[in-house]
Amino acid sequence: MGRKTVLHDLHVALGARMVDFGGWDMPVNYGSQIEEHHRVRREAGVFDVSHMCVIDLRGPGVRSFLSRLLANDVGKLWKSGKALYSCMLNESGGVIDDLIVYYQGEQWWRVVVNAGTRDKDLAWMRRCASEWQTEFSLTERSDLAILAVQGPQARSRVASLLETEDQEPALSLGAYEARECGLWFVARTGYTGEDGFEIMLPAEEASSVWQALNAAGVASCGLGARDTLRLEAGMNLYGNDMNEQHHPLESNLAWTVAFQPADREFVGRAALERLRTAGVSHKLVGLVLEERGVLRAHQRVIVAGEGAGTGAGTGVGATASEGEITSGSFSPTLERSIALARVPRNAVGAVQVDIRGKLLPARVVKPPFVRHGRVLVDL
C-alpha cells in the first residue's frame, strides 16, 4: 500500500481509479481522463497534489542560502508575494529537482518540491545548509494539503469560496504571485498551461473545500489529465524530461538558469559554464506525430544527418543521428500524438519515430503546443 493524502477516501468515494504515483496512492481519473482534460482547458478542474512537498524556510539566512542553492536567481524576488521557478542542480549541473520558491518576506520563504524527490531534496538542502553554515529553520509542512484549481473559470470559482475581504486581493494576484488568505496560501501558479490557483491549506479542510469546489462547478480531475495538460503546455516532468544525468541546457530550461549577475556562485554554475563553452550537443524539443499512433517515452527518434536525402552521388547516406522521446502521449486538444524529445542540436523539421519497429513520420516543433486554450503549433 502506498502513502495516502488526506483526500484519499474522498477520491475513492468519488469513483476515482487509484494508482501508484511514486509511492503514493493517487487518483489517475474519475471516469474519463480526456473529459477531465477538456474541463480544465474549457472551464475548471481541481487536482489533489498534496503528495508534493511544502517546505518553509524561515530566518535571515534564507536569501543567501537559496541564492547559492538554486540555478535561477532569487535576487529577482524582492516584492513580497512573488514566486520563481527554478532547478536545483548538483555540482555537475544535473538536475536534482525543479521547484517553485515563494517569497513572502525576508524571514519567510516557501519552497514546493516534487513528491518523488522529497527525501533526497530535503537531505540535499540540509547538507548544503550545514556545509555553508547558514542560519535558518527548515520545516516540512505535512500538515498542509495542496489543491491545484486550474482552467479559465478556476480563479473566479475559488474566489467564491473565500471570505469577502480576501476575494479582491486574491483575484488581483498576478501570474506567479501568492498571498495568504486566512489559513490558506493562494498562489497563481499551475502546471496545466491554463490560468488558476494552487491552494495550500490545512489538511483537515481539504475534503470540504474539494466538495465545495465541485458544487461550484469545478470538476474533480486525476493526475492522468494533469500529465496530458502539462505536456500540451510544454512543461517538463522531473524524472522524464530532465534528471541528474541531464542538465537544464539540454532540457529546454536554459531560460531558468540565471548566469547574470556573473558573480553569483550557485551550485552547478561552473559545470554549466564549461558545457556552454564546449557547446551543448542536444536539445529538448516538441514533436507532433504526423500519422495515427501514440508517441511514448523512450521511443527512438531518427534524425536525418546533414545532406541526407539529397543523393549527392556517393550512394552513401549521410550519417543519421538519434534522439529519444522523454514524454509522449495523445493530446486531447490537438487530437494527435505529441511528445517532448531530446534530439541532436541540428534536428529541425521532419524526423522519424520508431514505434514498435515501424518508422513513423513526426515533426519537430517548439513547445508549448497549447496555452490558455489555444493551439500554438501548426497541424
Partner 1 sequence: MSQVPAELKYAKSHEWARLLPDGRVEIGITDHAQQALGDLVFVEVPETGRVLEAGAACAVVESVKAASDVYAPIAGTVVEGNAELAATPELINQDCYGRGWLIRVQPDSHAALDALLTPEAYAAVLASAEA
Residues at the contact surface with partner 1, assessed by CB under 8 A: 17, 28-29, 32-34, 224, 228, 292-294, 296, 329-330, 332, 337, 356
Minimum separation from the CB atom of position 294 to partner 1 (A): 4
Which residue, 79 or 292, is less far from partner 1 as judged by CB? 292
Cell 475534503 belongs to 207
Distance CA 86, CA 105 (A): 18
Minimum separation from the CB atom of position 338 to partner 1 (A): 12
Collect all residues with Cβ–Cβ distance below 8 Å to 179 and sequence separation of at least 6: 81, 169, 170, 173, 185, 186
Minimum separation from the CB atom of position 37 to partner 1 (A): 8
Minimum separation from the CB atom of position 29 to partner 1 (A): 6
Minimum separation from the CB atom of position 224 to partner 1 (A): 6
Exposure on the CB side of residue 151, measured as CA atoms within 13 A: 26
Which residue, 36 or 73, is less far from partner 1 as judged by CB? 36
Which residue, 29 or 252, is less far from partner 1 as judged by CB? 29
Which residue, 24 or 197, is less far from partner 1 as judged by CB? 24
Which residue, 33 or 251, is less far from partner 1 as judged by CB? 33
Minimum separation from the CB atom of position 27 to partner 1 (A): 12
Q: How many residues does the chain have?
A: 379
Which residue, 203 or 294, is less far from partner 1 as judged by CB? 294
Minimum separation from the CB atom of position 51 to partner 1 (A): 18
Distance CA 213, CA 221 (A): 12
The 3-state secondary structure of the chain reads CCECCCCHHHHHHCCCEEEEECCEEEEEECCCHHHHHHHHHHCCEEEECCCCEEEEEECCCHHHHHHHHECCCHHHCCCCCEEEEEEEECCCCCEEEEEEEEECCCCEEEEEECCCCHHHHHHHHHHHHHHHCCCCEEEECCCEEEEEEECCCHHHHHHCCCCHHHHHHHHCCCCCEEEEECCEEEECCCCCCCCEEEEEEEHHHHHHHHHHHHHCCCEECCHHHHHHHHHHCCCCCECCCEECCECHHHCCCHHHCCCCCCCCCCCCHHHHHHHHHHCCCEEEEEEEECCCCCCCCCCEEEECCCCCCCCCCCCCCCCCEEEEEEEEEEECCCCEEEEEEEEECCCCCEEEEEECCEEEEEEEECCCCEECCEECCCC
Which residue, 321 or 329, is less far from partner 1 as judged by CB? 329
Using alpha carbons, select from 118, 119, 190 the residue that is nearest to residue 154: 190
Minimum separation from the CB atom of position 288 to partner 1 (A): 15
Minimum separation from the CB atom of position 354 to partner 1 (A): 13
Which residue, 79 or 298, is less far from partner 1 as judged by CB? 298
Which residue, 34 or 212, is less far from partner 1 as judged by CB? 34
Minimum separation from the CB atom of position 252 to partner 1 (A): 23
Which residue, 232 or 241, is less far from partner 1 as judged by CB? 232
